[in-house]
Amino acid sequence: MQYEVIIGLEIHAQLLTDSKMFCGCSTVFGSEPNTQTCPVCIGMPGVLPVINKKAIKYVIKTGLAVNCEISSYSRFARKNYFYPDLPKGYQISQYELPLCEGGYVEITVNGSTKKIGLTRIHLEEDAGKNIHEGAGNYSLVDLNRAGVPLMEIVTEPDIRTPEEASKFMKKLRVILRHIDVCDGNMEQGSLRCDANVSVRPYGQKEFGVKTEIKNMNSFKFIEKALDYEIRRQIKVLKDRGKIIQETRLWDSTKGITESMRSKEEAHDYRYFPEPDLVPVEVDGSWIAEIKAQLVELPDSRQQRFIKQYGLPEYDADLLTSERAVAEWFEGAVKLGGDPKTVSNWMMGELMRLLNEENKQIEECGLKPVQFVGLLKLIDKGTISGKIAKAVFEEMYKTGKNPDTIVKEKGLIQITDEADIEKVINEVLEKNPKEVERFRAGEEKLMGFFVGQIMKATKGKANPKIVNELLKKKLLT
Ligand code: ADP
Ligand code: ZN
Ligand code: MG
């Protein structure tokens, strides 16, 4: 029997606000435990939460970027459960009335686009973190993360393969980073994803029983965990067993999912409206203002790059995967760089160097203005294309101007015909046999001679002049 796979994702994204969701504590990552806390976020009695306006704005921004309906009226709710990292005994979240509903994200699979529907986006606060490291029979709790604003994005069960799931996550990450609401760091947990998955025989109308997989902190793990879980479910059904609705954990070292808790053990959260917060009423004019400030989104930027600069789709896709990369590209083009030439250098040399150091483009000292300076030196014939690669790397490492590097290292291209002729003569004199063979018709030896001349000039001879003069010499 053939089975169809159904997947729906629940994504948590930490918002890039400076302060927490309901108090003024800092959200900076990696500080000493419990140094970023106050009576509000550690749940002292008698305190009152105050809504962080920027967090609301970021969720609206996200909603607009992924085609949601923004609710003019929404409400916070208490989600009750007991856990040591949750001092209040409840998490402030949203339940029946989330900030955003509907919407979709477009992904490209096997060359065609597919819309993945969104159910809702709501706002909530993060919990603290339990640390089980000490030697003793105890655990520690760090509440720095307690109260940090989290946005939860829930998809419709529209995803059909593990590949689509990871494509969706990648696309969402690109969008969130583009609009500057989340840093997308999956390793540090600022972007996390739980996957709901079920299988059903093709043709069956009802969905099968689903399991929920937690703890996947990379695109690779999302695909692997889903792959494993789908195989497991199909095997259970083929063996005439039943899928139990449960939460499973992905173990990346073992490469399997393991049962964490079944539906019977699931929490009853006893949601109710948060009595300490007034409902959120969002003005249409505020939504319009946020919409007007929204930056160009990756998909439309990609299409524009194709049209405006005549770039191939592949280039446009790569160059719009990060906002800073797209801006670097356009910066260089505005300064006079030829779009395809700029793209080739960026996708080749620049990405290679950045990847080697695992760096983002913002962190590199090489700016578009210096890079375009290099392109001009090539165009003018001051340096050869080959030398330019070395200069590029030097610029990348030192942040120096190309002219400075070329002068310091004596890399100026030799274009003086007399100088080049001298070198050619030397090379020909040293290789009389090859000259004879060439003249007897072995024309491919041309490459050998050019190579020798470039070697003798340390790559600085102008290749065009070398070729012209060499031909003249050899054929007369
Ligand atoms: P729950 O009541 O368990 O929270 P929801 O209906 O709220 O389930 O859905 C949670 C997530 O699971 C959503 O992303 C939804 O698309 C997905 N989902 C719901 N039912 C299924 C199913 N049978 N198979 C796979 N995913 C599902
Ligand atoms: Zn606080
Ligand atoms: Mg639900």
- Per-residue pLDDT tens digits for 95-129: 999 999 999 999 999 889 999 999 999 999 999 99
Is 118 a pocket residue for ligand 1 (Cβ < 6 Å)?
Answer: no
Residue 271 covered by a domain? yes
Q: Are 349 and 389 in contact (CB under 8 A)?
A: yes
> Residue 45 C-alpha to ligand 2 middle, in angstroms?
13
Q: Atom 11 of ligand 1 has which residue's CA nearest to it?
A: 8
* Number of domains, the chain: 3
Ligand nearest to the CA of 95: 3
Residue 395 covered by a domain? yes
Give the Cα-Cα-Cα angle 329, 178, 120 (nearest 5 degrees): 155
Tell me the average pLDDT across 40-44: 95
Domain shared by 341 and 248, yes or no: no
Residue 170 covered by a domain? yes
- Residue 279 has a pLDDT of 96
Among the candidates 270, 286, 302, a domain finishes at 286
Domain shared by 140 and 101, yes or no: yes
Is 210 a pocket residue for ligand 1 (Cβ < 6 Å)?
Answer: yes
Res. 443 pLDDT band, cuts 50 70 90: confident
- Residue 313 has a pLDDT of 94
State the average pLDDT for the chain: 93
Per the document, the length of the chain is 476
Domain shared by 34 and 163, yes or no: yes
Using CA atoms, how far apart are residues 19 and 465, in angstroms rounded to an integer?
63
Res. 193 pLDDT band, cuts 50 70 90: very high
Ligand nearest to the CA of 35: 2
Residue type, 17: T
403 pLDDT higher than 80? yes
474 pLDDT higher than 90? no
Residue 307 covered by a domain? no
Domain shared by 260 and 181, yes or no: yes
- Residue 50 has a pLDDT of 97
Domain shared by 400 and 422, yes or no: no
Domain shared by 110 and 177, yes or no: yes
Helices (H) and strands (E) counted in the chain, each on its own, are 16, 17
Is 211 a pocket residue for ligand 1 (Cβ < 6 Å)?
Answer: no
Pick from 182, 195, 168, 61: nearest CA to 105: 168
Domain shared by 54 and 180, yes or no: yes
Domain shared by 66 and 182, yes or no: yes
Is 213 a pocket residue for ligand 1 (Cβ < 6 Å)?
Answer: no
Residue 394 covered by a domain? yes
355 pLDDT higher than 80? yes
DSSP letter assigned to residue 295: P
26 pLDDT higher than 90? yes
Is 71 a pocket residue for ligand 1 (Cβ < 6 Å)?
Answer: no
- Residue 416 has a pLDDT of 84
Residue 293 covered by a domain? no
Is 95 a pocket residue for ligand 1 (Cβ < 6 Å)?
Answer: no
Res. 365 pLDDT band, cuts 50 70 90: confident
Among the candidates 405, 436, 464, a domain finishes at 405
Is 98 a pocket residue for ligand 1 (Cβ < 6 Å)?
Answer: no
Using CA atoms, how far apart are residues 357 and 418, in angstroms rounded to an integer?
44
Highest mean pLDDT among 50-54, 360-364, 463-467: 50-54
Domain shared by 85 and 129, yes or no: yes
Residue 71 covered by a domain? yes
Among the candidates 286, 320, 351, a domain finishes at 286
Is 120 a pocket residue for ligand 1 (Cβ < 6 Å)?
Answer: no
Residue type, 111: G
Q: Atom 14 of ligand 1 has which residue's CA nearest to it?
A: 8
Domain shared by 89 and 184, yes or no: yes
Q: For residues 147 and 111, which has the higher predicted lDDT (pLDDT)?
A: 147
Test site for ligand 1: of 79, 199, 210, 245, most ligand atoms within 8 A of the Cβ = 210
Is 247 a pocket residue for ligand 1 (Cβ < 6 Å)?
Answer: no
* Residues of the domain holding 212: 3-286
Domain shared by 369 and 271, yes or no: no
Domain shared by 243 and 366, yes or no: no
- Residue 410 has a pLDDT of 78
> Residue 261 C-alpha to ligand 1 middle, in angstroms?
16
* Ligand 1, atom nearest to 196 Cα: 26
Residue 305 covered by a domain? no
